[in-house]
């Protein structure tokens, strides 16, 4: 099937083509041909050398399409920590979590919670449960049909299932705690802070950011950003915090975010299997994932349903997928896995 993936004219990306950027167009044609069969895919972008070389929208979506990008939000939350540190609102990633929540101090029964640092939270090593693997914590954090959620009291209510700093546990609560810390440190709503200090320097726009019952932006989910603006975020991280000549993030923060503090992560649920579909050798940094497909390693932001920002540094390439977030859909992994595997096959095909 021949698919026209020529980027749409206009907008704020320099447009090019695969061949002009030294990439075999046949590989891109295969990628977009396979993408036409993905039932929940909204958008697919390929950026190389800072130029948009391929773009197409599917299943009724368009260039301006917005929906919750799910856990891609976590990578934006992490960026806000780096900016808060740069501007002096935070002094160090070694600051203690409980210093920001004095109202809970007298309710903490487990003294280990007093040892949790911002760094532990960023690395998903704070000790809080991996909610989806340790029932009933996912249902307590995200009660079906209840919105907005109540989250911060779980700082007290959720137990630690590991000592802080010792084990990777993918915790949505942990990411929300990070967001609340930045909000309190800056005395500013997180969406306002992010638009001013992260999105504006990239000429990007935050569509909206979902909130909890106390008005805190959700650090783990519900950020709304277009596919093109997701590409800007990815390109900025690709370029060590620079975007088209403007310093957006500190270079050291970008490097620290992409380090692998945990490796061999089993996300699949199958024993000893460190892979997600055809993404293998899973690692984690500061709210960023890393993996390998074939011979190629990459970092990526990952949201439920198949929302991805993939950074292939060896090719100066960013791949963005946007997709139906598939809230409480029993077939969600079937659709998400199909998107992940399509991206993985393209990455494997690269020379």
What are the tens digits of pLDDT across the range 286-313? 999 999 999 999 999 999 999 999 999 9
Q: Which helix (H) or strand (E) holds 43?
A: strand 41-48
Q: What is the pLDDT of residue 177?
A: 98
Whether the full predicted model's pTM is greater than 0.85, yes or no, is: yes
How many domains does the chain divide into? 2
Pairing of strands 296-303, 208-209: unpaired
Question: Which residues are within 8 A (CB) of 244 and not within 5 positions of it... i.e. 6 or more apart?
Answer: 50
Question: Is it the case that residue 274 has pLDDT exceeding 70?
Answer: no
| Rounded Cα gap, residues 239 and 252, in angstroms | 12
Tokens of 267: 């996300």
Measure Cα distances from 85 to 241, 330, 341 in Å.
14, 40, 36
Q: Is residue 218 part of a domain?
A: no
Question: Coil, strand, or helix at residue 159?
Answer: coil
Q: Among 201, 222, 119, which residue's Cα sits nearest to residue 164?
A: 119
Q: Is residue 89 part of a domain?
A: yes
| Rounded Cα gap, residues 179 and 181, in angstroms | 5
Domain boundary among 163, 186, 209: 186
Mean local confidence (pLDDT), 139-161: 95
Burial (Cβ within 10 Å: 0-12, 13-18, ≥19) of residue 145? exposed
Contact 240, 254 (CB under 8 A): yes
| 131 and 230 belong to one structural domain | no
| 276 and 241 belong to one structural domain | yes
For the stretch 196-231, pLDDT in tens is 999 999 999 999 999 999 999 999 999 999 999 999
Question: Coil, strand, or helix at residue 230?
Answer: helix
Question: Is it the case that residue 272 has pLDDT exceeding 80?
Answer: no
For the stretch 237-271, pLDDT in tens is 999 999 999 999 999 999 999 999 999 998 865 55
Q: Is residue 12 part of a domain?
A: no
H helices of the chain, in order, are 25-35, 72-86, 118-122, 137-141, 154-157, 172-186, 190-194, 227-238, 251-257, 332-349
| 26 and 133 belong to one structural domain | no
| Parent domain of 142 | 72-186
| 236 and 335 belong to one structural domain | yes
| 237 and 154 belong to one structural domain | no
Tokens of 306: 């198949």
| 160 and 252 belong to one structural domain | no
Where is average pLDDT lowest: 18-32, 83-97, 321-335? Answer: 321-335
| Averaged pLDDT score across all residues of the chain | 96
287-314 residues labelled b (16+ CB within 10 A) or e (exposed): bbbbbbbeebbbbbbbbbbbbbbbbbbe
| 241 and 145 belong to one structural domain | no
Q: What is the pLDDT of residue 269?
A: 57
| 61 and 81 belong to one structural domain | no
| 160 and 94 belong to one structural domain | yes
Q: Count CB-CB contacts under 10 A for residue 130.
A: 19
Q: Is residue 9 part of a domain?
A: no
Q: Among 310, 329, 328, 332, which residue's Cα sits nearest to residue 319?
A: 310
Query: What's the CA angle centered on 169, arms 165 and 174, to 5 degrees?
Result: 80
Question: Is it the case that residue 273 has pLDDT exceeding 80?
Answer: no
Question: Is it the case that residue 44 has pLDDT exceeding 80?
Answer: yes
Q: What is the pLDDT of residue 328?
A: 76
Q: Is residue 311 part of a domain?
A: yes
Q: Is the peptide bond before 57 cis (omega within 30 degrees of 0)?
A: no
Q: What is the pLDDT of residue 212?
A: 98
For the stretch 65-105, pLDDT in tens is 999 999 999 999 999 999 999 999 999 999 999 999 999 99
Q: Is residue 198 part of a domain?
A: no
Contact 152, 181 (CB under 8 A): no
Domain with residue 244: its CATH number is 3.40.710.10
Question: Which residues are within 8 A (CB) of 57 and not within 5 positions of it... i.e. 6 or more apart?
Answer: 42, 43, 44, 63, 65, 227
Q: Is residue 329 part of a domain?
A: yes
Question: Which residues are within 8 A (CB) of 46 and not within 5 positions of it... i.e. 6 or more apart?
Answer: 5, 18, 28, 31, 52, 53, 54, 55, 317, 318, 319
Domain boundary among 157, 186, 215: 186
> Phi and psi (nearest 5°) for 31?
-55, -50
| 109 and 180 belong to one structural domain | yes
Mean local confidence (pLDDT), 320-345: 92
| 231 and 342 belong to one structural domain | yes
| 51 and 88 belong to one structural domain | no
Q: What is the pLDDT of residue 326?
A: 86
Q: What is the pLDDT of residue 72?
A: 98
Q: Is residue 141 part of a domain?
A: yes
């Amino acid at each position: 099937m021949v698919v026209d993936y020529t980027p749409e004219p206009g907008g704020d990306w320099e447009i090019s083509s695969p061949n002009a950027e030294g990439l075999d167009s046949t590989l891109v044609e295969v990628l977009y041909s396979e993408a036409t069969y993905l039932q929940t895919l909204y958008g697919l972008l390929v950026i190389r050398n800072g130029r948009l070389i391929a773009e197409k929208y599917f299943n009724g979506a368009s260039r301006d399409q917005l929906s919750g990008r799910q856990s891609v939000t976590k990578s934006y939350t992490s960026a806000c920590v780096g900016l808060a540190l740069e501007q002096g609102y935070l002094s160090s990633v070694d600051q203690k979590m409980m210093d920001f929540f004095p109202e809970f101090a007298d309710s903490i029964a487990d003294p280990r919670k007093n040892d949790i640092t911002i760094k532990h939270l960023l690395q998903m090593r704070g000790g809080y449960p991996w909610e989806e693997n340790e029932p009933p914590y996912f249902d307590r954090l995200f009660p079906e049909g209840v919105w907005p959620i109540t989250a911060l009291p779980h700082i007290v209510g959720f137990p630690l299932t590991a000592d802080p700093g010792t084990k990777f546990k993918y915790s949505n609560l942990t990411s929300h705690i990070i967001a609340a810390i930045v909000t309190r440190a800056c005395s500013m709503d997180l969406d306002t802070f992010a638009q001013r200090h992260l999105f504006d320097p990239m000429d990007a726009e935050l569509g909206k950011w979902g909130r909890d019952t106390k008005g805190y932006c959700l650090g783990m989910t519900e950020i709304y950003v277009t596919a093109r603006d997701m590409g800007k975020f990815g390109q900025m991280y690709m370029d060590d915090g620079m975007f088209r000549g403007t310093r957006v993030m500190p270079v050291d923060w970008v490097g620290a975010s992409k380090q692998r503090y945990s490796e061999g992560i089993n996300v699949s649920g199958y024993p000893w299997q460190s892979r997600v579909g055809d993404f293998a050798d899973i690692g984690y940094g500061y709210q960023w994932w890393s993996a390998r497909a074939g011979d190629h390693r990459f970092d990526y932001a990952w949201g439920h349903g198949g929302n991805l920002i993939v950074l292939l540094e060896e090719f100066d390439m960013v791949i963005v997928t946007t997709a139906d977030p598939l809230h409480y859909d029993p077939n969600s992994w079937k659709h998400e896995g199909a998107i992940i595997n399509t991206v993985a096959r393209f990455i494997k095909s690269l020379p």
